Amino acid sequence: MRAVIGLPIIDRATPWAANTNEYFSKALRVRDEYQGHPTIDTVFAPHAPYSVRDDTFKRLRTLSDELDAGICIHLQESAGEMAFSEKTHGCRPIERLESLGLLRPGLNAIHMVHLSESDLAAVQRTGLSVTVCPESNLKLGNGQAPFAQLRSSGVRLAIGTDGAASNNDQDLWAEMKLAALLSRPTPEEPPALTPWDVLAMATCGAADALNLPCIGVLAADKWADLCCLDLSAPAMQPLYDIPAQLVYSGGRDCVSDVWVAGRQLVADYKLTRLDWAPVAARAQSWATRILQEAP
Ligand SMILES: [Zn+2]
């Protein structure tokens, strides 16, 4: 599997860590564990501006400078977050992060539903990347990122699902279709995001946003991470316009084969390196435990 694991930092206790120091020590421990791993990377993941204090952001900035580590954060996702920031800090979340020195190319801002002209200028000026998560935003009633402005301003753009707590599936195909559909402003205008745009956001754009130059395109000196789709599948018939059909009619059920770093992980619709039954059983045992321990 190829993964970039977000190492959570939050100024409140969770089952993962009791306090800020423990978040940092656990983050560094997990980071060390995967150092040099061929397919798994890590980034620091301060949860959101409303759950992380200024001194914690400053500590994180120093640490990420020392380690040359990336950072991802949920940013400007909801109206509540914007109001809290104005009330508590007297500025927008992105302005606060800029004053703390966190806006830079190694930062991946997830969501950015609320985006003023000055926010967009800050994104362009500092070179950070943006990951949009349309299904999560829809489910939580947060609105949508302004796809047209983000696309036309040349922001480094990726697409994601958000976490399992705010989206029931991690189906990137559904996100691509939804982003393309939602990006049409009026019947008279074309969608701001073409099928090629959303395919790029899920592939080379995502690799760029995650600062993984070794993947994202099929080229010499890159890992050949790729998936193969069955264009003879019922959903793809009849075949006219492959990019449009991949986005508007395709789905994860059309993926027949997957390779990561030269290893075939899915062959003819079957997992090659995972025994599914114990994986499913482990997930179910966690569900049972969570239900039992829920307050
Ligand atoms: Zn989120």
Instruction: Give per-residue pLDDT as tens, 270-288.
Output: 999 999 999 999 999 999 9
CA of 166 to the centre of ligand 1 (A): 7
Query: CB of 239 within 8 A of CB of 224?
Result: no
Q: Distance (Å, rounded) from C-alpha 160 to C-alpha 41?
A: 17
Sign of CA dihedral 124, 175, 112, 16: negative
Query: CB of 41 within 8 A of CB of 78?
Result: no
CA of 77 to the centre of ligand 1 (A): 7
Query: CB of 18 within 8 A of CB of 3?
Result: no
CA of 239 to the centre of ligand 1 (A): 36
Residue 240 is predicted with a pLDDT of: 93
Q: Which residues contact 218 (CB under 8 A, 6 or more apart)?
A: 224, 226
CA of 159 to the centre of ligand 1 (A): 12
Question: pLDDT, tens digit, for every residue of 219-239?
Answer: 999 998 999 999 999 999 999
Across the chain, mean pLDDT equals 95
Residue 295 is predicted with a pLDDT of: 74
Question: pLDDT, tens digit, for every residue of 125-145?
Answer: 999 999 999 999 999 999 999
CA of 237 to the centre of ligand 1 (A): 35
Q: Distance (Å, rounded) from C-alpha 92 to C-alpha 31?
A: 31
CA of 97 to the centre of ligand 1 (A): 17
Kindly provide the residue ranges of all beta strands, DSSP E only, lying in the chain, ordered along the sequence. Answer: 3-9, 40-46, 71-75, 107-111, 129-132, 156-159, 226-229, 255-260, 263-267, 270-271
Query: CB of 148 within 8 A of CB of 190?
Result: no
AA letter at 31 = R
CA of 131 to the centre of ligand 1 (A): 10
CA of 110 to the centre of ligand 1 (A): 7
Q: Distance (Å, rounded) from C-alpha 115 to C-alpha 119?
A: 6
Distances 92 to 77, 79, 122 between C-alpha atoms, Å? 12, 11, 12
Sign of CA dihedral 129, 131, 132, 137: negative
CA of 25 to the centre of ligand 1 (A): 23
- Average pLDDT on 253-282 reads 95
Q: What is the pTM of this model?
A: 0.94
Q: Which residues contact 277 (CB under 8 A, 6 or more apart)?
A: none
Phi/psi for 258 (5° steps) reads -135, 135
Does residue 293 have a pLDDT over 90?
no
Q: Distance (Å, rounded) from C-alpha 174 to C-alpha 246?
A: 11
Residue 278 is predicted with a pLDDT of: 96
Confidence of residue 294 (pLDDT cuts 50, 70, 90): confident
Q: Distance (Å, rounded) from C-alpha 169 to C-alpha 146?
A: 23
CA of 294 to the centre of ligand 1 (A): 22
Question: pLDDT, tens digit, for every residue of 9-33?
Answer: 999 999 899 999 999 999 999 999 9
CA of 64 to the centre of ligand 1 (A): 21
Question: pLDDT, tens digit, for every residue of 89-136?
Answer: 999 999 999 999 999 999 999 999 999 999 999 999 999 999 999 999
CA of 163 to the centre of ligand 1 (A): 6
CA of 269 to the centre of ligand 1 (A): 30
DSSP notation for 64-122: HHHHT--EEEEES--HHHHHHHHHHHSS-HHHHHHHTT--STTEEEEE--S--HHHHHH
Distances 12 to 19, 129, 254 between C-alpha atoms, Å? 6, 27, 42
CA of 262 to the centre of ligand 1 (A): 31
AA letter at 205 = G
Question: pLDDT, tens digit, for every residue of 239-253?
Answer: 999 999 999 999 999
